[in-house]
């Protein structure tokens, strides 16, 4: 026991002395490797490190040494990735060590901070390597291989940046699409998305065809370029300028941003007389309906608190009183124009300013477009405010209300109604003749059609080929042209109607009449496509007399191509054609009837009224009358026959005239010097310089006894003139009151407006009494056979009277002006309060209802008063 006590201290001493030796022995290979590293003995250090790992695969120190080996910059075997791998292994092994082992490792020295510091240095080196390469792959490799590096965020940013730069270099939507698919959260993602959408749009619509834009909208409905694509669709699809494509666009793209512009342009392409119910469904909405209704009536200005406004024919305010100045031409109301020209611009009837600036002139081009002349600039402006060309112009015109021709810098261009350029400003002139567009440059002409020009919008070539020296529109849609010494005629689709030849062409109702170099004439019938040569041609629509050799051919081109008859000679009598063959005459009616007569007959044309016409045939001292269809009406021994109208004929014999019916029955004997045409059931008569009258219906006669022509007033009374004055007589020729009027005007069936002793009065014809006296003057607002409406002035006061309804506005006002229309008047009435220098203005409706009242001082009254009527 005593011996053991002696050995134990000795053992402790020995162990204490051997501990360093053991520790050195424990780390001997690693320390040897570390020592060789410090002396740059790379191969020896590598072998020792590998030997240590071979001896113990879980060895934090050995892995640390190997990591340091590969991370030594002077080492030819420097390899960041290997250094990183060994560092991770060292960290993994270190995590599995016990606290006691870690205490021993500190003596190497090795601990977690050393490993972290080494890994950080390796991460930095790896990141530096990636930055030096500065490629997407380098940064991706770094991010994958060094996931715990502090430079991960910066590496991601650089990766995104260099990848974005590559996409920019490639500059295709595929490149940006691939970029977004890989890096959707990149800082450049928004710009990449923007470029992707732009390049996708440009690539998809590079050919600028309508179908490409439509396909793009279909395939990419959420694209930010959808609006631009729809704008192009709208401009291309509607390039023809007709209503149908506008309607089709609105039906197909009801929510497009272009829908408002499309509706506005379409609205002005439709006939003005369409009702709201007749509008296409795409236009049947509240806003356009209000515009349509507002456009149908007239406007009247009013002045309120120093500012002008406008009201409709019912007195409803359409435009609030906010206009400072107004042209004097508007003060008298009855404004039907759909725009108002103000000192500071142009306003639509709905109150929208469509043009701002001084206006010196406005020309309505049609289809809703205006040519507005300002102080320093002339512009084309649509009545909705749309401006198809945002620059000054010299001139503009519509091409058949479908395209816009605009002159700038002395040259003409052509645009669609939506403003899309079709033909650049390189033409000396551009005109339209129906569907044909006439282009002029350097005194030469080219022809195309509206459809062909419109197709330019869809990238279709215009293909101008033939060049002409002169071009002129002809009637019936024909286009005459001259190319060198050749002349020809084209149709509305540039189809050949008359082939180009050395000839002189003149328009004719059937087509064209050509004169050749040998003076022969060719009849070009465009309806039947005939071109027959003749020695001579006489044209009298609907007939053509054409001579070939010794024979005259009678043609009726509206009916048939070939001649309907051949004659020795031909002449025209109004709408009738008369042919002579051997010993006979033949009168041709447009109905197709042919009347034969002996050669000694003399045929005359008797003009009718409207479309009626008659033929008078004189043979053997007798005249026979035929109507336009060739039916015989009557005959007799007359020197002359005239049509009086209403189925009556004036017949003459030895300078005297009588009246017969269309079947020859006598109505008035042949004893008058003159008989007038039938009018309102009566004819005027003249005999021995005295006038009479005959009632055709009632067969009543007023013998010629009066100095002036008689005028029927009503069924019972006739206005006549005798001994220097007018008066009334009955159909029995008896006087109805005294003859003491200077003038007689119709008012109604029983009351006449007569003038006596310098003033007018309303006079009851039947009772011979004065209904209203002392009328100093009057102004007829409406004057029809059935009614009269007049502003009456009596003793300095004004009122309004109607011939049937009597007093509309009592004769109590200082002045009255009709600021409405004749059909629907509106009365501006004024009462002057002299004591207060005030003017009370009351507006009355057509039926005398008060609709507005204002009180003005002298200056304000002069500002609103209509003085131009």
Phi, psi of 795, rounded to the nearest 5 degrees:
55, 45
Nearest by Cα to 335 from 784, 819, 658: 819
For the beta sheet containing 503-508, the strands, ordered from the edge strand earlier in sequence to the opposite edge, are: 503-508, 511-516, 521-525, 530-534
- pLDDT score of 20: 39
Query: pLDDT digits over 711-727, tens only?
Result: 999 999 999 999 899 99
In whole angstroms, give the CA distance from residue 831 to residue 439.
62
Q: Give the distance from CA 733 to its chain's centroid.
A: 65
Q: What is the mean pLDDT of residues 271-281?
A: 83
- pLDDT-derived band at 520 (thresholds 50, 70, 90) equals very high
Is it the case that residue 23 has pLDDT exceeding 80? no
* Residues whose CB falls within 8 Å of the CB of residue 633, separated by 6 or more in sequence, listed in order: 614, 625, 626, 627, 662, 663, 664
Q: Report residue 840 as tokens.
A: 């009370």
For the beta sheet containing 317-323, the strands, ordered from the edge strand earlier in sequence to the opposite edge, are: 299-304, 307-312, 317-323
Q: Report residue 661 as tokens.
A: 């019916």
Helix and strand element counts for the chain (H, E) = 18, 59
Matching residue, tokens 């009435």 = 829
**What are the respective helix, strand and coil percentages of the chain, to the nearest 5?**
30, 40, 35
Asked if residues 860 and 303 have their Cβ atoms less than 8 Å apart, the reply is yes
In whole angstroms, give the CA distance from residue 604 to residue 25.
152
Q: Report residue 148 as tokens.
A: 């715990």
3 state DSSP class of 226: helix
In whole angstroms, give the CA distance from residue 167 to residue 81.
29
Is it the case that residue 55 has pLDDT exceeding 90? no
- pLDDT-derived band at 769 (thresholds 50, 70, 90) equals very high
Give the range with max mean pLDDT: 394-408, 598-612, 728-742: 394-408
Nearest by Cα to 728 from 754, 761, 765, 756: 765
Q: Is the dihedral of CA 421, 427, 431, 432 positive or negative?
A: negative
pTM of the model: 0.83
In whole angstroms, give the CA distance from residue 495 to residue 529.
12
For the beta sheet containing 838-844, the strands, ordered from the edge strand earlier in sequence to the opposite edge, are: 815-818, 827-833, 838-844, 850-856
In whole angstroms, give the CA distance from residue 487 to residue 498.
8
- pLDDT-derived band at 306 (thresholds 50, 70, 90) equals very high
Rg (CA), the chain: 52
- pLDDT score of 13: 36
What dihedral angle (degrees, nearest 10) is formed by the CA atoms of 625, 630, 633, 639?
0
Phi, psi of 278, rounded to the nearest 5 degrees:
-85, -10
Partnered with residue 531 across adjacent β-strands are 524
What number of CA atoms fall less than 13 Å from residue 576's CA on the CB side?
27
Is it the case that residue 594 has pLDDT exceeding 70? yes
In whole angstroms, give the CA distance from residue 318 to residue 309.
8
- pLDDT score of 393: 96
Asked if residues 231 and 257 have their Cβ atoms less than 8 Å apart, the reply is yes
Is it the case that residue 609 has pLDDT exceeding 70? yes
Matching residue, tokens 């016990």 = 98
Residue 60: exposed, middle, or buried by beta-carbon count in 10 A (0-12, 13-18, 19+)?
buried
E-strand ranges in 328-469 read 339-342, 345-348, 353-356, 361-366, 369-373, 378-382, 395-399, 403-408, 411-415, 421-427, 429-433, 436-441, 444-449
Matching residue, tokens 């209403």 = 646
- pLDDT score of 2: 42
Matching residue, tokens 């004439």 = 521
- pLDDT-derived band at 869 (thresholds 50, 70, 90) equals low
- pLDDT-derived band at 12 (thresholds 50, 70, 90) equals very low
Nearest by Cα to 726 from 690, 754, 746: 754
Residue 558: exposed, middle, or buried by beta-carbon count in 10 A (0-12, 13-18, 19+)?
middle
Go through the chain and tell me how many residues it has.
869
Asked if residues 49 and 33 have their Cβ atoms less than 8 Å apart, the reply is yes
Is it the case that residue 231 has pLDDT exceeding 90? yes
In whole angstroms, give the CA distance from residue 653 to residue 647.
20
Q: Judging by DSSP bridges, how do beta strands 656-661 and 648-653 pair with one another?
A: antiparallel
- pLDDT-derived band at 54 (thresholds 50, 70, 90) equals confident
Q: What is the mean pLDDT of residues 17-27?
A: 42
Q: Judging by DSSP bridges, how do beta strands 759-764 and 769-775 pair with one another?
A: antiparallel
Q: Percentage of the chain surpassing pLDDT 90?
A: 84
In whole angstroms, give the CA distance from residue 715 to residue 731.
9
Nearest by Cα to 798 from 854, 857, 844: 844
In whole angstroms, give the CA distance from residue 828 to residue 186.
73
Query: Left, alpha or beta for 7 (phi > 0: left; psi -120 to 50: alpha)?
Result: alpha
In whole angstroms, give the CA distance from residue 291 to residue 9.
120
What dihedral angle (degrees, nearest 10) is formed by the CA atoms of 356, 362, 364, 370?
-30
Alpha helices in 171-314 (DSSP H): 173-182, 189-204, 210-219, 226-237, 243-252, 259-267, 286-296
């Amino acid at each position: 026991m005593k011996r053991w006590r002696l050995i134990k201290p000795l053992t402790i001493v020995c162990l204490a002395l051997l501990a360093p030796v053991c520790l050195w022995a424990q780390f001997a290979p690693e320390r040897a490797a570390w020592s060789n590293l410090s002396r740059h003995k790379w191969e020896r250090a590598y072998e020792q490190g590998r030997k240590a790992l071979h001896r113990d695969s879980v060895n934090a120190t050995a892995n640390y040494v190997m990591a340091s080996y590969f991370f030594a910059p002077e080492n030819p075997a420097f390899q960041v990735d290997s250094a990183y791998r060994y560092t991770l292994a060292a960290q993994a092994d270190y995590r599995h060590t016990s606290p006691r082992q870690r205490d021993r490792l500190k003596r190497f020295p090795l601990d977690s901070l050393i490993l972290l510091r080494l890994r950080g240095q390796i991460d930095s080196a790896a990141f530096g390597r990636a930055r030096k390469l500065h490629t997407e792959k380098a940064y991706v490799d770094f991010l994958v291989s060094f996931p715990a590096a502090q430079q991960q965020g910066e590496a991601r940013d650089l990766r995104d940046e260099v990848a974005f730069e590559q996409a920019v270099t490639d500059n295709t939507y595929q490149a940006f699409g691939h970029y977004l698919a890989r890096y959707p959260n990149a800082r450049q993602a928004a710009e990449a998305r923007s470029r992707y959408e732009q390049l996708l749009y440009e690539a998809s619509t590079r050919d600028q065809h309508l179908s490409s834009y439509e396909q793009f909208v279909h395939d990419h409905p959420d694209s930010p370029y959808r609006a631009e694509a729809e704008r192009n669709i709208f401009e291309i699809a509607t390039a023809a300028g007709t209503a149908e494509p506008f309607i089709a666009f609105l039906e197909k793209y009801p929510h497009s941003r272009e829908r408002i512009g499309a509706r506005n342009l379409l609205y002005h392409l439709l006939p003005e007389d369409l009702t709201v119910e007749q509008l296409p469904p795409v236009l049947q909405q509240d806003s356009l309906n209000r515009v349509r209704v507002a456009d149908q009536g007239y406007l009247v200005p009013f002045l309120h608190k120093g500012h002008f406004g406008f009201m409709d024919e019912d007195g409803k305010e359409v435009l609030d009183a906010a206009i400072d100045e107004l042209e004097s031409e508007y003060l008298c109301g009855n404004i039907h124009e759909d725009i108002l020209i103000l000192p500071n611009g142009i306003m639509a009837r709905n109150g929208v300013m469509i043009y701002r600036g001084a206006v010196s002139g406005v020309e309505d081009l049609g289809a809703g477009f205006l040519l507005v002349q300002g102080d320093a600039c002339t512009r084309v402006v649509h009545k909705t405010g749309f401006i198809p060309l945002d620059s000054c112009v010299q001139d503009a015109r519509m091409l058949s209300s479908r395209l816009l021709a605009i002159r700038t810098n002395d040259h003409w261009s052509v645009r669609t109604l939506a403003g899309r350029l079709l033909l650049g400003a390189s033409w000396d002139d551009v005109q339209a003749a129906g569907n044909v567009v006439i282009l002029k440059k350097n005194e030469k002409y080219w022809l195309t059609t509206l459809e062909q020009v419109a197709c330019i919008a869809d990238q279709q070539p215009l293909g101008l080929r033939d060049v002409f020296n002169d071009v002129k529109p002809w009637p019936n849609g024909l286009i005459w042209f001259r190319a060198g010494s050749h002349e020809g005629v084209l149709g509305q689709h540039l189809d050949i109607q008359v082939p180009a030849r050395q000839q002189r062409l003149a328009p004719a109702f059937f087509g064209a009449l050509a004169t050749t170099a040998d003076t022969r004439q060719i009849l070009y019938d465009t309806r039947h496509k005939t071109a027959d040569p003749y020695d001579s041609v006489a044209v009298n629509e609907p007939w053509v007399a054409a001579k070939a050799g010794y024979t005259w051919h009678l043609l009726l081109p509206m009916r048939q191509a070939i001649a309907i008859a051949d004659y020795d000679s031909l002449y025209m009598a109004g709408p009738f054609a008369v042919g002579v063959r051997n010993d006979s005459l033949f009168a041709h009616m447009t109905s197709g009837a042919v009347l034969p007569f002996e050669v000694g007959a003399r045929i005359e044309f008797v003009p009718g009224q409207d479309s009626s016409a008659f033929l008078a045939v004189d043979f053997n001292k007798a005249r026979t009358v035929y109507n336009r269809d060739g039916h015989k009406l009557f005959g007799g021994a007359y020197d002359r026959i005239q049509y009086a109208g209403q189925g009556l004929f004036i017949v003459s014999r030895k300078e005297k005239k009588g009246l017969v019916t269309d079947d020859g029955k006598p109505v008035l004997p042949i004893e008058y010097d003159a008989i007038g045409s039938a009018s309102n059931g009566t004819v005027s008569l003249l005999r021995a310089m005295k006038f009479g009258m005959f009632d055709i219906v009632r067969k009543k006669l007023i013998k010629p006894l009066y100095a002036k022509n008689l005028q029927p007033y009503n069924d019972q009374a006739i206005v006549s003139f005798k001994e220097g004055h007018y008066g009334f007589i009955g159909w029995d020729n008896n006087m109805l009151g005294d003859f003491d009027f200077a003038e007689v005007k119709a008012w109604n069936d029983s009351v006449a407006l007569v003038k006596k002793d310098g003033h007018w009065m309303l006079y009851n014809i039947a009772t011979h009494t004065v209904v209203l006296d002392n009328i100093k003057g009057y102004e007829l607002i409406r004057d029809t056979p059935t009614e009269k409406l007049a502003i009456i002035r009596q003793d300095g006061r004004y009122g309004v009277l109607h011939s049937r309804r009597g007093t509309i506005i009592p004769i109590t006002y200082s002045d009255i002006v009709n600021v409405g229309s004749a059909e629907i008047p509106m009365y501006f009435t004024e009462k002057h309060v002299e004591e207060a220098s005030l003017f009370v203005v009351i507006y009355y409706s057509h039926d005398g209802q008060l609709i507005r009242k204002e009180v003005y001082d002298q200056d304000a009254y002069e500002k609103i008063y209509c003085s131009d009527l």
